[in-house]
Amino acid sequence: AQKITQTQPGMFVQEKEAVTLDCTYDTSDQSYGLFWYKQPSSGEMIFLIYQGSYDEQNATEGRYSLNFQKARKSANLVISASQLGDSAMYFCAMREITSWGKFQFGAGTQVVVTP
């Protein structure tokens, strides 16, 4: 069964606008962590932001923030004030306490920022 679901294969967003990337997850663990990575066309994976299952506040990191809704099992990434350099593939990933060694990734969302 798919542990991480990203339902948006691709999105266009205008420069300076905000964009929300959806991520839902499936776990029966009480303790888990959610990660977002950015992959530019060069292929490297850049870690952006983390949200823990016990974190009461939504994570923020510069222009990135997480809209974490634990009951709905969703951890959507919000990019504010989009820039041309934000054009990339974005992946949501999860680590569960019962399978510590594994990072499980979603299918990704391709974001294209237009002038």
- Return residues touching another protein (CB under 8 A): 4, 6, 9, 31-33, 35, 37, 42-45, 47, 50, 52, 91, 93, 95, 97, 100-108
Burial of 84 (0-12, 13-18, 19+ CB in 10 A): exposed
Q: With respect to another protein, which residue has the nearer C-beta, 12 or 47?
A: 47
- Residue 51's beta-bridge partner residues? 34
Q: How far is the CB of 57 from another protein (least distance, A)?
A: 14
Residue with smaller CB distance to another protein, 1 or 71:
1
